[in-house]
Amino acid sequence: MCAAGSLRIPASGLALVWALSLSAQSTLEPGGSCQVAGRVISYTTLREADVLWERRVWRTIDLQEKTNLPFLLPQAQVNGCLGLLGVIRHGLLDEGAITAYDPGSLGKDDGFRVPFDTEAVRKILSGLDTLAPNAVSRFTIKEDWIFDKQRSVMEVRIIGLAPMVEVRGEDGELRGHRPLFWLYFPECRTLFARWLAARQEDGDPVSYEGLFASRRFSSTIIKVSNMQDRMIDEHRTGLDALLESEAIRQQLLHMGFDLWNY
């Protein structure tokens, strides 16, 4: 089990982030209908010299969208199964297998710099019913898109995950969302691989790790790495923001093909 504060990940630097191995975790043996014997496929070793192109991307997963409903409540509808937030709470407080990191006073620090201790996490979650499907309305993920010229492939690796809660004004109007904390995603993969999230048409179970690994979610890009370090909605609004988000998505999809031809 990784002790709180033992993991330090800088805000940038792909080679260092991906070189870190998965932390050893206390293992809850699969058993019952809500746990699966999921496996975690190790990332291929990546040399900095083989990185031809890279881009860091932030996106939100809105849990109100139909595609993302398994993150709210497992499709299996089995008593005792947990949504993603419940699994995260279990990993933080019951197993101590993962670490939550402070997002900062402005909620913009996603560099995994300051870990919360168990009591701080317990206090943060005490105001939420983590078993309620709507306790968290969305998740933000931070991921790296990178073209490995050695293998001629574009890879996407999720680096961070943050549960987001609504921020409302005194009038009850929605003012935005803020992160409860950030999680270092590679540290969470073993935990996520053990919990049932959905079932395929043939009845085979799919874990939360499986949902992320197979990209079985709908999301909106809210930021890409840039010199000003600004979000899309800081210089675009409404339809313009959606169009720019879609343009970035298309660019990422086509970039792998263009670089392969290069």
The pLDDT confidence band at residue 37, using thresholds 50, 70 and 90, is confident
Query: Is the model's pLDDT at 219 over the cut of 90?
Result: yes
Read off the pLDDT of each residue in 229-233 and give the average, rounded to a whole number: 63
245 vs 112, residue with greater confidence: 112
Residue 39 lies in a domain: no
DSSP tag of 129: -
Residue 26 lies in a domain: no
Residue 42 lies in a domain: no
Residue 28 lies in a domain: no
The pLDDT confidence band at residue 13, using thresholds 50, 70 and 90, is very low
Place of tokens 């975790």: 25
Residue 17 lies in a domain: no
| DSSP reduced 3-state for 192 | helix
pLDDT value at residue 160: 97
The length of the chain in residues reads 262
The pLDDT confidence band at residue 73, using thresholds 50, 70 and 90, is confident
What's the mean per-residue pLDDT of the chain?
A: 78
Give the Cα separation of 168 and 64 in Å (integer): 18
Helices (H), 102-237: 118-126, 185-192, 208-213
Query: Is the model's pLDDT at 75 over the cut of 80?
Result: no
Give the Cα separation of 73 and 82 in Å (integer): 7
Read off the pLDDT of each residue in 200-212 and give the average, rounded to a whole number: 88
Q: How far is CA 66 from CA 69, 150, 227, 255, in A?
A: 5, 38, 35, 28
The pLDDT confidence band at residue 16, using thresholds 50, 70 and 90, is very low
Calculate what percentage of the chain has a pLDDT beyond 90. Answer: 37
pLDDT value at residue 79: 58
Q: Which domain covers residue 127, as residue numbers?
A: 50-261
How big is the chain by its Cα radius of gyration, in Å?
18
pLDDT value at residue 208: 95
Residue 150 lies in a domain: yes
Residue 186 lies in a domain: yes
176 vs 94, residue with greater confidence: 94
Residue 13 lies in a domain: no
52 vs 100, residue with greater confidence: 100
Number of domains in the chain: 1
